[in-house]
Amino acid sequence: MAGKRSLMPPGEDALLARLLSKVPVCAGLGPGDDCAAVPGPARGEWLLLKTDAVAEDVHFLRSHDPAQVGWKALCRPLSDIAAMGGTPSEALVTFFSPPGLDASWWVRFYEGLGRAARRFGVTVAGGEMSRQTHGIAVSIALTGRVRRSHLATRSGGKPGDLLVVTGRLGGSPGGRHLTFVPRLEEGRWLARHARPHAMMDLSDGLGSDLPRLAAACGGGFEIDRPRIPRHRGCSIEQALSDGEDYELLLAVTPARWNSLANRWRGVFPNLPLTVIGRLTATPGLPADWPSGWDHFRTPDARGKS
């Protein structure tokens, strides 16, 4: 383990584990993956359950277009449904509204949310509105469906599996964090055709999320950093640490890679699919691995660009 930091879970994961020790936990696929999954609604299907949140001055600013905030609020949990290879279905929208906020803010928010809902086949099943004393906050819970044989989790990766990412990373604080497109179609295609051993979405940044995937698989990882696909003008450091990429990270068996890459180019010619490294048997982090983004560790906020 010389030259590696111990694979300590970051603050958020440690707090979550402590909190979950206080409650009865779901018997299906529960906390710790992108979505929870329980049997149903049809035979051979799983029901996916996910909740996500955006808060003012953390994930967006009051000066941002509320329609973009509504888009983002729904697309964040959609990205998690994508990471399970699933198809989204119903949304429950809870919002907290501060004194003096005009109702038109929420109307515009719902316009953006509605645009995302129509595009990705989601219907709104209900919601709850509450006042709070300061700031806007929204939580969206989503259901989804996935065939049991297509369910992609975080934990099945094996040493030697190739680590693959969709799209390009870095630079989301410049605006992409409000306009990104969740990889639903790509996630379903990959679950069916790549049969990944593990898959997750990159919401906190590769620097935070890759160690989570490797830890869930019981091992470590090696990355060839210059191979990380980056948005124009982004450094490797940004690609690792900016967060809010909402691309997919997967672990696939090397034998599948060549045919997979060929078929991918035929179906998604405009979105790169890139090998960036591989899973290893030894838990631990590379020596100079950045921590990525963690709500409960870093004081700087996303969306403050």
Residues in 86-125 at the binding interface with a copy of itself, rule: CB under 8 A: 89-90, 92-94, 96-97, 99, 103, 106-107, 110-111, 113-114, 117-118, 122-125
Of positions 10, 59, 79, 86, contacts a copy of itself by CB under 8 A: 59
Write down the least CB distance from residue 214 to a copy of itself, Å: 21
| Options 36-44, 233-241, 260-268, 270-278: segment touching a copy of itself (CB under 8 A) | 36-44
Nearest distance in Å: CB 275, a copy of itself? 30
Cross-strand partners of 302: none
139 counts as binding a copy of itself under rule CB under 8 A: yes
Closest CA to 150 of 209, 109, 194, 106: 194
- The C-alpha angle 117, 122, 123, rounded to 5 degrees, equals 100
The answer to whether 204 contacts a copy of itself (rule: CB under 8 A) is no
Shortest distance, position 171 Cβ to a copy of itself, whole Å: 22
Using rule CB under 8 A, residue 42 touches a copy of itself: yes
Structure tokens at 44: 């051979």
Shortest reach from residue 13's CB to a copy of itself, in Å: 10
* Structural contact between residues 45 and 147, judged by C-beta atoms closer than 8 angstroms: yes
Using the minimum distance from each CB to a copy of itself, give the nearer residue, 99 or 226.
Answer: 99
Q: Is 27 in the site for a copy of itself (CB under 8 A)?
A: yes
Residue 52 sits in the site that holds a copy of itself (CB under 8 A): yes
Is residue 49 within 8 A of residue 143, CB to CB? The reply is: yes
User: 1, 8, 17, 40: which one contacts a copy of itself (CB under 8 A)?
Assistant: 40
Name the phi and psi angles at 34, rounded to 5: -65, -40
Whether the bond into 41 is cis, omega within 30 of 0? yes
Beta bridge partners of 52: 140
Instruction: Answer for the pair 62, 96: CB distance below 8 angstroms, yes or no.
Output: no
Q: How far is the CB of 191 from a copy of itself (least distance, A)?
A: 19
61 interacts with a copy of itself by CB under 8 A: no
Residue type, 147: R
List 5, 7, 57, 286, residue binding a copy of itself (CB under 8 A): 57
Say whether 51 sits in a helix, a strand or coil: strand
The enclosing H or E element of 256 equals helix 254-267
Q: Phi then psi for 233, rounded to 5 degrees?
A: 85, 0
Of positions 3, 63, 100, 130, contacts a copy of itself by CB under 8 A: 130
* Dihedral sign, Cα of residue 270, residue 275, residue 276, residue 280: positive
CB of 31 to a copy of itself, least distance (A): 5
Residue 226: DSSP 8-state: G
Least distance in angstroms from the C-beta of 128 to a copy of itself: 5
